[in-house]
Chain A
Amino acid sequence: MTRRTFLGMPATAPPGVGHLRGAESFPAAARRGLADPQLRRNLRHATTTIRAKSGGVIAELPDWEQLRAAGAAIKADTLARLPELLEQLEARVTEAGGVVHWAADAVEANRIVTDLVRATGVDRVIKVKSMATQEIGLNEALVAAGITPVETDLAELIVQLGGDRPSHILVPAIHRNRAEIREIFLREMPGVDPTLTDDPTALAAAARRFLRQTFLSTPVAVSGGNFAVAETGTLAVVESEGNGRMCLTLPQTLITVLGVEKVVPTWRDLEVFLQLLPRASTGERMNPYTSMWTGVTPGDGPQAFHLVLLDNGRSAVLADEVGRQALRCIRCSACLNVCPVYERAGGHAYGSVYPGPIGAVLSPQLTGIEDNASLPYASTLCGACYDACPVKINIPELLVHLRAEAVESHRRPTAESIAMAAAAYAMDHPRLYAAGQRAARLSRFAGRRGRGLPPPLNGWTGSRDLPEPPAQTFRDWWADR
């Protein structure tokens, strides 16, 4: 499949900007996660704890399956009518005093936000945790323009101060323990009390002190959005800490970057997602804070509101009739918490800001399969993610679908494809095959130490036992009779 870039046709996210592509393939990156016992302990603790909490509050709802079915259908309906719903959203937001911008990709979205911030004359913005702005690499773009973005979610702040990358959608600093967080704060947080302990309450209080003045003195905020209601123009952000409320309430200007798939048709649809999201995500009946706003409200909150509607590969995902269901995702991270591969490899192994099972299907579709060809294989196809998904995305089906695409897209031969081609050639040529079998028998004597294959095939035998070649081949036995 070639990258389609001409105007008006579905296009994938451009390379060289944002965080959808890792520097290395999943197997190479996963090896580092697997070799880090601290990371694996932290992840195991986190995923098992959240799973148990989530299971408990889901069991309280006798209509959970009906809510899932409704959530899946609302999103499927949304995707089927996406252009008209976005136009409706644009009209309602504009009527309510907001300004709507359209961004074809990460480069354009970054430029729009940077220009909006520059127009206010400030050189610092406060940010609400947002997957969309991470996806497009907004922080890097702002820094390049001389603007300091301050992450205000505690975990994102830990990641930002640590010069690190998030490893989970919901709890981005889950790979860090309290001692590491204390060290990061002592090293990177200006004005921190040097006697700071690693007690979580003390660490959270340090972040509160550090950010309070920033909240009160920064007139521009950037957020993402969990939902946008086409019918009313209402935006919704769910959160826990109150940093979201600070960013959405205190500044004069609010800029919200929203993936086009986040729209829902009606106000009433929120009654489904506000039940599904917190229970599937943090395992709570309701998250501590949800903020909803429609355009601007005179005398209350930001008096300038900009909504940036982002494509960045979503149209390409929508174009795939099987793959488009990945756009139903409400970023709850339930699939991460049940995935045996994620639990062991960790979020960084996926290379993209979207880790875990949903990342393994969303990232390759957003970038084009060529750029994330190893991700559809980062799964055992056990199906736990499908069962956990509150909007019933059939991730295993998608993984298989994308594996087929990855195979088709392979233009460069791999070690495996060379070996298979050689085997096919030998099996087509009986004398060569017989010679090969005799050679294999010789290897009984050649390799005393470790019965692995030579490079580049040693990766296969590194974790598998190679059956010992028999002393006599069937052909030799037949010939001897």
Chain B
Amino acid sequence: MSSRDVVLGRLRAALAGGTEPVEVPRDYRHTGTLDLDQLVQRLTDYRAHVHRVAEAAVADTIAGILPPGGTVVVPPGLPPAWLPPTVTALPDDGLDNARIGAADAVVTAAAVAIAQTGTVVLDGSPDQGRRVLSLLPDRHICVVRADQVVATVPEALARLTPHRPLTWISGPSATSDIELIRVEGVHGPRLLHVLLLP
């Protein structure tokens, strides 16, 4: 008898007394009124830096965030116009971890953002790249278009594809393990900049 048969057999035996079908009530909120100010406020609450700029100003904004000559990891499908000429772009053509980790920042797009929780979600699309890109550099600059923002968690899940690797990000890396004092940047990026486009 395989362990699979043993475990499934035990679970079936445990339910042999019969079970009633369970109806799941779904009367919680599914949608909400979209409020971009709420997204900004909740991201800021998590100590992310939010910049509300027009798409034409993305490059200038990034130039203001990074030191001149800084290196930026770039996913293969990122719009080239987003990068300022003052930085050195490292396009991800299979960059090794050492080079990714040594970069000053990574710039990505996003798949979805959730206003009520202050969350951006990356799904590995070409303008977001592999998961490691947004993990190792100390600064993550994430560009979100207003039409990617939803109000609620249920709306976000409905827009996402489960078969892509998903990374939900709510503020920079943080811990409260030492006397419950919040410390930013334990292992992930210490700084999160969100550029919110109209």
B33 lies within 8 A of chain A by Cβ: no
A201 near B162: Cβ-Cβ < 8 Å: no
Query: Nearest 3 CB-CB pairs, A to B?
Result: A242-B188, A315-B10, A8-B9
Q: Is A27 an interface residue (CB 8 A)?
A: no
CB distance from A245 to the nearest CB of B (A): 5
Interface residue from B1, B46, B118 paired with A7 (Cβ < 8 Å):
B1
Closest residue of B by beta carbon distance from A81: B19
Q: List 25 A-B contacts (CB under 8 A).
A: A8-B6, A10-B13, A69-B25, A74-B24, A80-B22, A102-B6, A153-B177, A204-B175, A204-B185, A208-B185, A212-B187, A240-B173, A242-B186, A245-B135, A249-B132, A250-B135, A268-B157, A270-B157, A274-B153, A285-B116, A285-B117, A288-B169, A294-B163, A300-B124, A315-B13
Interface residues of B in 25-40 (CB under 8 A from A): 25-30
B20 near A: Cβ within 8 Å?
A: yes
The binding surface of chain B is classed by DSSP as loop
**Please, how many angstroms separate the alpha-carbon atoms of A292 and B169 in the complex?**
12
Q: In whole Å, how far is B24's beta carbon from the nearest beta carbon of chain A? A: 4
Number of A-B contacts (CB under 8 A): 257
Complex Cα distance A173/B177, Å?
Answer: 7
User: B119 near A: Cβ within 8 Å?
Assistant: yes
Q: With A45-B179, A294-B162, A300-B130 in contact, do A7 and B157 touch (Cβ < 8 Å)? A: no
A286 within 8 A of B: yes
Interfacial residues of chain B within 163-198, with CB under 8 A of chain A in the complex: 163-181, 183, 185-189
Whether A200 contacts B179 by the Cβ 8 Å rule is yes
Q: Point out the residues of chain B lying under 8 angstroms from A288, CB to CB.
A: 46, 169-174, 188
Chain B residues within an 8 Å CB radius of A319: 13-14
B3, A104: Cβ atoms under 8 Å? yes
By size class, the interface of chain B is 35 or more
Which B residues lie at the A interface, using CB under 8 A?
Answer: 1-15, 17, 19-30, 42, 46, 97-98, 101, 114, 116-119, 124, 130-132, 135, 153-154, 156-158, 162-181, 183, 185-189
Contacts of A211 in B (CB 8 A): 187
* B172 → chain A closest CB, angstroms: 7
For residue A99, CB closer than 8 A to chain B, the reply is: no
Give the contacting residue for A10; candidates B14, B24, B183; CB below 8 A.
B14
- Asked if A461 is an interface residue, CB under 8 A from chain B, the answer is no
Which residues from 160 to 207 on chain A have a C-beta closer than 8 Å to any C-beta of chain B? Answer: 171, 173-174, 177-178, 181, 200-201, 203-204, 207
Query: B6, B11, B180: which contacts A318 (Cβ < 8 A)?
Result: B11
Chain B residue with the shortest CB-CB distance to A69: B25
Contact A286 B164 (CB under 8 A): no
Complex Cα distance A83/B189, Å? Answer: 40
Q: Is the CB of A242 within 8 A of B173?
A: yes
In the complex, whether A234 has a CB less than 8 A from a CB of chain B is yes
Report whether B175 and A8 are in contact in the complex, using a CB–CB cutoff of 8 Å: no
Chain A residues 317-349 with CB under 8 Å of chain B are 318-319, 321, 324
Q: Does A91 contact B (CB under 8 A)?
A: no
Given A104-B7, A288-B171, A311-B10, check contact A178 B179 (CB 8 Å).
yes
Do A63 and B28 touch across chains, with their CB atoms under 8 A apart? yes
Q: State whether B130 touches A299 (Cβ < 8 A).
A: yes
Q: Does A473 contact B (CB under 8 A)?
A: no
Check: A301 CB closer than 8 A to any chain B CB: yes
- Chain A residues positioned under 8 Å from B11 (CB to CB): 10, 82-83, 86, 260, 311, 314-315, 318
CB of A297 within 8 Å of the partner chain: yes
Q: Are A77 and B22 in contact (CB under 8 A)?
A: yes
How far, in Å, is A282 (CB) from chain B's closest CB? Answer: 7
Q: For residue A157, which residue of chain B has the nearest CB?
A: B177
Known: A66-B27, A200-B178, A286-B117. A86 touches B8 (CB 8 A): yes
- Please determine whether B6 and A250 come into contact, CB atoms closer than 8 angstroms: no
**Contact at B25–A45, with CB atoms within 8 Å?**
no
Q: Which residues of chain A come closer than 8 Å to B117, judged between CB atoms? A: 285-286
Q: Decide if B169 touches A289 in the complex (CB within 8 Å).
A: yes
Q: Are the C-beta atoms of A289 and B178 separated by less than 8 Å?
A: no
Q: A7-B6, A285-B170, A291-B167 are in contact. List 5 more A-B contacts (CB 8 A).
A: A74-B24, A174-B180, A245-B187, A250-B135, A316-B14
Whether B167 and A290, one on each chain, are in contact in the complex, defined by CB atoms closer than 8 angstroms, is: yes
Is A70 an interface residue, CB under 8 A from the partner? Answer: yes
User: A residues within 8 A CB of B162?
Assistant: 229, 232, 234, 267, 292, 294
Option from A80, A208, A282, A299 in Cβ contact (under 8 Å) with B186: A208
Quick one: closest B residue to A272, CB to CB? B28
Q: Chain B's nearest CB lies how many Å from the CB of A467?
A: 45
B175 x A241 contact (CB < 8 A): yes
Closest to A80 in B: B19
Q: A29-50 toward B: CB 8 Å interface, digit per residue (1/0)?
A: 0000000000000100110011
Q: Are B170 and A287 in contact (CB under 8 A)?
A: yes
Q: Tell me if A292 and B171 are in contact (CB < 8 A).
A: no
Across the interface, B165 reaches (CB within 8 A) one of A74, A274, A300, namely A300
Q: How far is the CB of B171 from chain A (nearest CB, A)?
A: 5
| Docked pose: A152 CA to B189 CA in angstroms | 16
Closest-CB distance, B69 to chain A (whole angstroms): 24
Contacts of A212 in B (CB 8 A): 101, 187
Q: Are B177 and A171 in contact (CB under 8 A)?
A: yes
How far, in Å, is B79 (CB) from chain A's closest CB?
A: 21
Residues of B contacting A243 in the complex (Cβ-Cβ under 8 angstroms): 186-187
- For A1-35 the 0/1 string (1 means CB < 8 A from B) is 00000011111000000000000000000000000
Q: How far is the CB of B96 from chain A (nearest CB, A)?
A: 10
- Chain A residues within 8 Å of B97, by CB: 216, 250
**In residues 74-107 of chain A, which contact B (Cβ within 8 Å)?**
74, 76-77, 79-83, 86-87, 96, 101-104
Residues of A within 8 A of B46 (CB): 288
Q: Is A154 an interface residue (CB 8 A)?
A: yes
